[in-house]
Amino acid sequence: MQSYDVIIIGAGAAGLMAAIAAGKRGRSVLLIDHARAAGEKIRISGGGRCNFTNLRAAPANFLSRNPHFCVSALKRFTQRDFIALVERYGIAYHEKTLGQLFCDGSSKQIVSMLLEECRNASVTLWTATRVVGKIRKQADGFSLTVERDGEPHHLSCTSLVIASGGPSIPKMGATGFGYDLARQFGLKVVEPRPALVPLTFDDATLAKLKHLAGVSLDVVVSCGKTGFAEALLFTHRGLSGPAILQISSYWREGQEIGIDLLPGSDAFALLKQARSERPKQELKSILSDLLPKRLAQHIVGDLEASEKPGSFSRIADLSDRKLRRVADALNNWRVLPKGTEGFRTAEVTIGGVDTDELSSKTFEAKRVPGLYFIGEVVDVTGHLGGYNFQWAWASGFAAGQYL
């Protein structure tokens, strides 16, 4: 049986960071992953350029049943700490929008950086390695069996770290392994669901909106008291784009979302002004100056469908009541999604191992000494824009100080 101080399951962002932190403390570390290469989600992220953190990262950018759980780790390893590491390796980067930092070159640079840090910390990395059978608790740690190159390896460790992520993007091999293990040891799991994911419509709504597929514009999308000002994209299935991905983390089945198609503008005031200054113009022409043409025509057609053809044509003929109806469609368009595209396209998973079960300082399970959960497998989910990577770096680093 091969023994290590620390075995980490999952060589993604959190697992790599925990391995580095523990290795630098002189611990013997084995990092394993079922994929053929480490950091695969890092590699594909950000269109291949890796949105590796966000200048604005703060606890308010994270969702959890316990919103205070993330505070300690985020303070101990900040976005500035990760940026310093990136700069030390001479990796060029830029801010895209809203504090989002991307590599100028390739996301592979981030993976290479982390692997070099692992080598410097004497971390042993096994890829194409999967856990077989049950992981067992022993008096002085854990025992497990893994299969590598068709051969079984019997392992033991003092500290076992689960950094296996959630089931988002199953084509990358994502599974609910971490949740199953948590339940095996009697830990509570907040029901996982897709997050940062496109929303879908029912067949009837799709039939009305399918001609808008490909239309994109900047909007404010809201659900309840939460709203995001970013781009929206109409698709063949429903709605996508950054604003929709953001609100999907807050949306629950049966809820409407509100879409302000003219953020920062009073649509009623604009329409009254147009009626005064351009009375001979058609409403659809006026709206086409404010919105993509196909969307402007759709709004007029939808309004007329509730009355009669031509009832919303020349703007001079529209009463204040009708102008207010148009304004509502522009500033507060209400949409009822049917669902989401699911884990297949979700960027992350919301929910996971209940934070009540873990120490916010060490990430150790309170009832299972030596067992740690970090990264996406924990019930902490960031907004779109590099926040989830920052959570991975921070939680991995924090746990690594105690392994």
Q: What is the pLDDT of residues 133-185, one digit of tens each?
A: 999 999 999 999 999 999 999 999 999 999 999 999 888 888 999 999 999 99
pLDDT of residue 254: 95
pLDDT of residue 309: 81
Strands 238-240 and 199-200, by their bridges, are antiparallel
pLDDT of residue 310: 80
Q: What is the pLDDT of residues 346-395, one digit of tens each?
A: 999 999 999 999 999 999 999 999 999 999 999 999 999 999 999 999 99
φ/ψ of 189, rounded to 5, equals -125, 125
| 3 state SS of 243 | helix
**Beta-carbon neighbour count of residue 147 at 10 Å?**
15
d(Cα 209, Cα 329) in Å, to the nearest integer? 15
Portion of the chain with pLDDT greater than 90, in percent: 95
pLDDT of residue 308: 79
d(Cα 390, Cα 385) in Å, to the nearest integer? 10
Find all residues with CB under 8 Å of 251, minimum gap 6, and list them.
199, 223, 257, 337, 340
Q: Which residues pair with residue 228 across a beta bridge?
A: 221
Q: Please report, in tens digits, the pLDDT of each residue of the chain (403 residues total).
A: 899 999 999 999 999 999 999 999 999 999 999 999 999 999 999 999 999 999 999 999 999 999 999 999 999 999 999 999 999 999 999 999 999 999 999 999 999 999 999 999 999 999 999 999 999 999 999 999 999 999 999 999 999 999 999 999 888 888 999 999 999 999 999 999 999 999 999 999 999 999 999 999 999 999 999 999 999 999 999 999 999 999 999 999 999 999 999 999 999 999 999 999 999 999 999 999 999 999 999 999 998 888 878 888 899 999 999 999 999 999 999 999 999 999 999 999 999 999 999 999 999 999 999 999 999 999 999 999 999 999 999 999 999 999 9
How do the domains of the chain map onto residue ranges?
2-194+348-400, 199-340
Rg (CA), the chain: 25
Reference 133, options 69, 94, 181; nearest CA is: 181
CATH number for region 2-194+348-400: 3.50.50.60
Find all residues with CB under 8 Å of 26, minimum gap 6, and list them.
none
pLDDT of residue 39: 96
Q: Which residues pair with residue 53 across a beta bridge?
A: 101
Find all residues with CB under 8 Å of 363, minimum gap 6, and list them.
73, 372, 373, 374, 378, 395, 398, 399, 402
d(Cα 341, Cα 238) in Å, to the nearest integer? 9
pLDDT of residue 163: 98
**Beta-carbon neighbour count of residue 375 at 10 Å?**
32
* Topology classification of domain 199-340: Elongation Factor Tu (Ef-tu); domain 3 (2.40.30)
The CA angle 376-163-30, to the nearest 5 degrees, is 160
Please provide the distance, in angstroms rounded to a whole number, between the alpha carbons at the two ends of the chain.
20
pLDDT of residue 373: 98
| 3 state SS of 39 | coil
